[in-house]
Structure 1
Amino acid sequence: MEVTLLWILCAALIVAGLAGTVLPVLPGTVLVWAGIVLGAWIDDFQRVGTTTLVVVTVLAALAWVLDYVAGLLGARRAGASRQALVGAAIGTVAGLFMGVVGVLFMPLVGAALGEYLAQKDQHRAVRVGVATWLGIMLGLLAKVVLAFIMVGLFVAALLI
């Protein structure tokens, strides 16, 4: 019975982590990683061994880095000001309280508003806002893909 509960916890961590790759409130890839490590431990690392865990850990770290760097790279590429970066961060936090639409679009609004306040140029503000948003969305997509690769490697290791 205890092992069954541990496997349920393992699955719950992975599912919560997959949800967290899209919802910034949850540390997505960290939860997926924790579920995988728990699953490996439950099985005494017999089927999910060191190599798989190292690869999954590297993928989790890469996803975490991409999550934070992608939006900044998009903003920097568009020549965003410091105020635009602060605006994107504030927009991200504000978006948490507005559901999925807020999470997806408030960073764009925050970056554009921050850039407008800094430069007083509406066209530049829109360009910076869109570039920041595209960076964030590409980072999100990469994080989701990496999380599913992590889960795929775990399931393959369990089944093979």
Structure 2
Amino acid sequence: MLILYWVLLIVMGAGIIGAFIPAFPGIGLIVAAIAIWGAVAGFSKAVVIALSIAIAVFAITTAIDYLAGYVGARKVGASNWGQIGAVIGMILGLLGFLPALPVGGPIFGLLFGSMLGAFVGEMLHRRDLAIPARCKLGVKVSLAIVVSSLIGNVIAGVLSIIATVVFLVATWPTVMPPVL
């Protein structure tokens, strides 16, 4: 049981890291790890509380991920084309279909792809504006989408740390005997 506990803590650590990185699983790994622990060790009151908090954090971070990019983009006047372009660019960057960056790999590909996709989406949608005005709006929208998404990821990361700490506080005394 002790080995499983430590393996699940490592999975939760990966979940915390994933919560800070756009498009990577984060809190979902934490919820799964707590559910596995509950299934194996029994759903005691402490485990149920930790799992409930993790599920609530999962729901909140899902909403934050969506709303952060949406609100940030709308504040600077982004169109749906810019937002769709950001999502397409993020996927292409993650999968490596954009030119390789010298450092960072897929993580920077996500950010660069989102920015490029939002810029292209705005350029295609705002044909009524002159080229310099379209470029300025495209840059503004692409930066707003990336910055607001990163802020959302920071919030999700902090919440995933809280969910993991709640699990540790709730289960540590049952797994690790007190040292006298």
Whether the aligned pair in 2 keeps the contact of 1:20 and 1:28 (CA below 8 Å) is yes
TM-score calculated relative to the size of structure 1: 0.85
The 10-residue stretch of structure 1 (106-115 or 11-20) with the greater mean CA deviation from structure 2: 11-20
Higher relative CO (Cα under 8 Å, sequence separation at least 6) belongs to 2
Whether the aligned pair in 2 keeps the contact of 1:14 and 1:32 (CA below 8 Å) is yes
In 2, the alpha carbon distance for the partners of 1:85 and 1:150 equals 30
In 2, the alpha carbon distance for the partners of 1:122 and 1:39 equals 51
Q: Return the letter of the residue paired with 1:18.
A: I
Larger radius of gyration: 2
1:145 aligns with 2:143: no
Unaligned runs of 5+ in 2: 97-104, 174-180
Superposed displacement of residue 51, structure 1: 2.6
Unaligned runs of 5+ in 1: none
Runs of 4+ in structure 1 off by over 4 angstroms are none
Q: Return the letter of the residue paired with 2:121.
A: G
Structure 1 residues 158 and 47: CA distance shift in structure 2, 3 A: farther
The 10-residue stretch of structure 1 (5-14 or 149-158) with the greater mean CA deviation from structure 2: 5-14
Whether the aligned pair in 2 keeps the contact of 1:85 and 1:114 (CA below 8 Å) is yes
Q: What is the aligned residue count?
A: 158
In 2, the alpha carbon distance for the partners of 1:24 and 1:136 equals 8
**Structure 2 counterpart of 1:154:** 167
TM-score calculated relative to the size of structure 2: 0.77
In 2, the alpha carbon distance for the partners of 1:118 and 1:75 equals 15
Superposed displacement of residue 74, structure 1: 1.0
Q: What RMSD over aligned residues (CA atoms) do the two structures have, in Å?
A: 2.1
Residues 35-64 of structure 1: CA deviation (Å, up to 9, x unaligned): 122223333233633333222210111112
Choose the corresponding residue for 2:125, options 105, 118, 125: 118
1:2-151, aligned counterparts within 5 Å?
Answer: 3-4=1-2, 6-24=4-22, 26-46=24-44, 48-96=46-94, 97=96, 98-119=105-126, 120=131, 121-151=134-164
Q: Return the letter of the residue paired with 2:32.
A: A
Whether the aligned pair in 2 keeps the contact of 1:13 and 1:34 (CA below 8 Å) is no
The 10-residue stretch of structure 1 (46-55 or 62-71) with the greater mean CA deviation from structure 2: 46-55
Residues 111-138 of structure 1: CA deviation (Å, up to 9, x unaligned): 1221122114111111111111111111
Structure 1 residues 8 and 51: CA distance shift in structure 2, 3 A: closer
Superposed displacement of residue 25, structure 1: 5.3
